[in-house]
């Protein structure tokens, strides 16, 4: 697990290959990234990416709840 | 995180042994804390470059999380690890959004159990209430009163044992009916007046087919309010069992069970 603070968020987002377009983040192929509800993720709300895969989340605990719920085997 | 250990061992100007177990990496505005020690801007860039290497693949090298979410992540991970079997029972019988509400309420209850600090707890309760305004706090109350263990899980197991074909539907109905009317529980908090307790009691006492009512109170002021409300309830139709105990945080607590004498 790598964590980041608010001050480093833009650098982390850039390292993930994401760019901001009209507030919403896009990946290197120009596609909008979405959270688990298939909603666009904005830079100001960006909370990270989980499971090393490309499950993006907003900085909102309910998104972690949804993530753990969906992975409860 | 062997990968990060290797990467850091190659960063010029820092002393990092390749065999060192990396347990925590935190990127800040100017550097990177590795196992709590700032390794500077070059190491920071090396970590970011490693993350960047995954951008065109199906996955990144690891989970990457805003620091605000770390506490919630660790708590939820611990809850899932310790209570997986029970949570799976609920997940099997309830719709996804109801299960998510329960898991969120459990996260809040976990923060209370672990005494995570009043500011954090207030923020989590507010979040629960905002995301699940109708029932979120009720579910938190169910956890506080240990209702899942004492009532809900045993009933689900009983439904499953006696009627496996319809136990999911019955369990759903049970959960919804508990939330809809809260028929068997009254939770007294600092905002609950004596009059409100009496009113909630009267509502329930007028119902049929309720085997008992439980009143839960934590803190001496709340216990005193329950005692006052119960003064009016001297009636042979009911028997009152007054249980006193101390919570794990050392606070006086009370659970009053009012049983109906149907004979």
Domain shared by B82 and B140, yes or no: yes
What's the confidence (pLDDT) of residue B182?
A: 62
- The domain boundary, picked from B159, B181, B203, lies at B181
Q: Do B84 and A72 touch (CB under 8 A)?
A: yes
pLDDT, tens digit, for every residue of B20-40?
Answer: 777 789 999 999 998 888 988
Q: Which among B63, B81, B116, B130 is the top mutation candidate for probing chain A, defined by the most A β-carbons within 10 Å of its own β-carbon?
A: B63
Residue of A nearest to B61 (CA): A52
Q: What is the pLDDT of residue B152?
A: 83
**HSE-up of residue B181 (Cα within 13 Å, Cβ side):** 11
pTM summary value: 0.76
Q: Find which of B51, B59, B104 to mutate to test the A interface (most A CBs within 10 Å of its CB).
A: B51
A29-68 burial string, b = 16+ CB within 10 Å, else e?
Answer: eeeebebeeeebbeeebbbbbbebebbbbbbbbbbbbbbb
Structural domain range at position B101: 66-181
Distance CA B27, CA B29 (A): 7
- What integer pLDDT is reported at residue B208 of this predicted model? 61
Q: Are residues A15 and B64 in contact, defined by beta-carbon separation less than 8 angstroms?
A: no
Given B181, B199, B230, which residue is the final one in a domain?
B181
263 residues of chain B, pLDDT tens digit each: 447 777 777 777 777 777 777 778 999 999 999 888 898 899 899 999 988 888 777 788 889 999 999 999 999 999 999 999 999 999 999 999 999 999 999 999 999 999 999 999 999 999 999 999 999 988 998 887 677 886 788 888 888 888 899 999 999 988 987 787 666 788 787 778 899 898 888 877 776 667 788 898 888 999 999 999 998 776 657 888 999 988 766 788 898 998 877 65
Q: Kindly state whether A61 is in contact with chain B, defined as any CB-CB distance less than 8 angstroms.
A: yes
Asked if B142 and B178 count as a contact pair (C-beta separation under 8 A), the reply is yes
pLDDT score, position A44 = 95
Q: Which of B126, B159, B181 is the last residue of a domain?
A: B181
Q: Which residues of A touch B81 (CB under 8 A)?
A: none
For residues B122 and B160, state if they share a domain.
yes
A30 and B CB contact within 8 Å: no
Other CB atoms within 10 A of residue B61 CB: 18
Give me the pLDDT at residue B251, please: 80
**Most B CBs within 10 Å: which of A6, A7, A8, A44, as the mutation test of the B interface?**
A8
My answer on whether B152 and B189 are in the same domain is no
The answer to whether the CB atoms of B67 and A5 lie below 8 A apart is yes
Is the distance from CB of A9 to CB of A20 less than 8 angstroms?
A: no
Chain B residues whose beta carbon lies within 8 Å of the beta carbon of residue A65: 76, 100, 103-104, 107
Do B240 and B198 belong together in one domain?
yes
Query: How far are the Cα atoms of B52, B92, B153, B253 from residue B85, in angstroms, in the given order?
Result: 38, 11, 11, 29
User: What's the domain count of chain B?
Assistant: 3
Give how far Cα B144 sits from Cα of A73, B113, B253, Å. Answer: 26, 9, 11
Q: Is the CB of A43 inside 8 Å of chain B's CB atoms?
A: no
Q: Which positions in chain A touch B83 (Cβ < 8 Å)?
A: none
Per-residue pLDDT of chain A (73 residues; tens, 9 = 90+): 899 999 999 999 999 999 998 889 998 888 899 999 889 999 999 999 997 677 899 999 999 999 999 989 7
Q: Is B104's CB within 8 Å of A61's CB? A: yes
The complex's ipTM works out to 0.96
CATH code of B258's domain: 3.30.110.20
Say if residue B70 is in the same domain as residue B165: yes
Q: Which residue of B has its CA nearest to A69?
A: B100
């Amino acid at each position: 697990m790598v964590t980041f603070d608010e001050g480093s968020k833009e650098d982390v987002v850039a390292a993930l290959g994401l760019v901001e377009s009209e507030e919403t983040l896009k990946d290197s192929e120009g596609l909008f990234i979405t959270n688990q509800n298939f909603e666009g993720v904005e830079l100001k709300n960006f909370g990270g990416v989980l499971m090393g895969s490309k499950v993006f989340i907003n900085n909102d605990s309910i998104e972690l709840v949804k993530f753990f719920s969906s992975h409860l085997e | 995180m062997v990968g990060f250990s290797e990467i850091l061992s190659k960063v010029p100007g820092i002393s990092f042994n390749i065999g060192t177990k990396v347990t925590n990496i935190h990127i800040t505005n100017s550097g990177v804390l590795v196992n709590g020690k700032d390794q500077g801007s070059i190491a920071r860039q090396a970590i970011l470059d490693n993350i960047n290497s995954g951008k065109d693949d199906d996955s990144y090298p690891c989970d990457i999380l805003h620091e605000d979410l770390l506490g919630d992540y660790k708590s939820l991970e611990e809850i899932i690890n310790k209570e997986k079997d029970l949570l799976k029972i609920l997940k099997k019988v309830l719709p996804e959004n109801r299960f998510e509400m329960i898991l969120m309420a459990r996260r809040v209850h976990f923060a209370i159990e672990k005494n995570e600090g009043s500011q954090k707890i207030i923020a989590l309760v507010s979040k629960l209430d905002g995301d699940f305004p109708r029932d979120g706090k009720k579910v938190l109350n169910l956890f506080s009163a240990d209702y899942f263990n004492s009532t809900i899980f045993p009933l689900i197991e009983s439904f499953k044992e006696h009627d496996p074909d319809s136990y999911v539907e019955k369990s759903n109905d049970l959960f919804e009916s508990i939330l809809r009317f809260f028929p068997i529980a009254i939770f007294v908090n600092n905002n609950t007046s004596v009059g409100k307790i009496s009113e909630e009691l009267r509502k329930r006492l007028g119902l049929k087919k309720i085997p008992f009512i439980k009143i839960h109170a934590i803190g001496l002021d709340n216990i005193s309010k329950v005692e006052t409300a119960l003064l009016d309830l001297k009636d042979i139709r009911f028997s009152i069992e007054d249980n006193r105990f101390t919570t794990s945080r050392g606070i006086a607590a009370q659970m009053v069970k009012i049983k109906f004498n149907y004979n």
